[in-house]
Amino acid sequence: MKNGSWPDLPLEDWQDTYATLHMWTQIVGKIRLALTPLINHWWNVPLYVTARGLTTSAMPYEERAVEIDFDFVDHQLVVKLDDGTTASIPLIPRSVADFYREVKHTLNGLGIMVKIWPVPVEVQDPIPFEQDHSTASYDAEYANRFWRILVQADRVFTEFRSRFIGKCSNVNFYWGSFDLAVTRFSGRRAPEREGADKITREAYSHEVISHGFWPGVRASGPIERSKSDGLIHAPAFYSYTAPEPLGLKEAPVRPEQAFYGTVVNEFILLYDDVRTAAAPEKLLLEFMQSTYEAGANLAKWDRSALER
């Protein structure tokens, strides 16, 4: 491993764990959604990177506060209340249905009664949580590697965020799409997308340029750098501008390894190109800055008012 803090994460080696963990984070994320008031662009629903995993942060429940953490060091789901009470569930190979039942049982035992819509979102052919026995994998090593990448990405994304004085999101882990993202705003409203649902209308009500990391599209066959379906079957960093201005696809960006994915409509920098670089942080910041500049310039953002 060339850069120990940027571990290898071959998708074919952990995609079953990825599938299970995606659903587990959706269960916890939906609890956060149920307990918190709507904040613009759904900023009340993400999870956040911690020194041990991912957290909901403190959530209100009646006059109490509850927090749920994924601990990818000791591999536990930890529930904490403001009176000092804690409870934990081991993160071990188990089905989504089993995990869902255990989470409900644990919360109920602590006096936390939360009703959620028990169906995953942003996935094809969703299976209700209580019926999902399709996968029961949990490889602790790869869960830990994934989290360690999130720690490094969070650090770089936060540095990139600090350069912007306009409206900008926190560094958010979105459990629906299973990605870590930071989003800048021009301050102008965006035209409503034709046929957009409630979620999309709220998320893209204003012009944005977003950057993020996600583990790639799971596939049943061998993972290759490029496949005929045009999807990204490998961990990668991405950038998109919404609405996308004319000419963005052809805009020159850096570093040289970056490319525009015409199916996903995003600039892509494969994680392995970052991981194996002599200076991963520098390469990633170069990608983020150049793709931001490409989108902001073509969309005519008032950069002098938005940047330090």
| Predicted TM-score (pTM) of this structure | 0.94
Condensed to tens digits (0 to 9), the pLDDT of residues 51-61 reads: 999 999 999 99
Condensed to tens digits (0 to 9), the pLDDT of residues 53-89 reads: 999 999 999 999 999 999 999 999 999 999 999 999 9
What is the reported pLDDT for 219? Answer: 61
Q: State which residues of the chain have pLDDT below 50.
A: 1-2, 221-227
What is the reported pLDDT for 226? Answer: 43
Q: At 292, phi and psi to the nearest 5? A: -60, -50
SS3 string, 28-55, reads HHHHHHHHCCCCHHHCCCCEEECCCEEE
Contact predicate 59/66, CB 8 Å: yes
What is the reported pLDDT for 223? Answer: 40
Tell the residue number behind the tokens 């501008």, with chain if given: 241
109 CB-near residues (< 8 Å, 6+ apart): 87
Residue 187's region, left for phi above 0, alpha for psi from -120 to 50, else beta, is left
Using only the alpha carbons of the chain, give its radius of gyration.
19
What is the reported pLDDT for 218? Answer: 80
Residue 27's region, left for phi above 0, alpha for psi from -120 to 50, else beta, is alpha
Beta bridge partners of 215: none
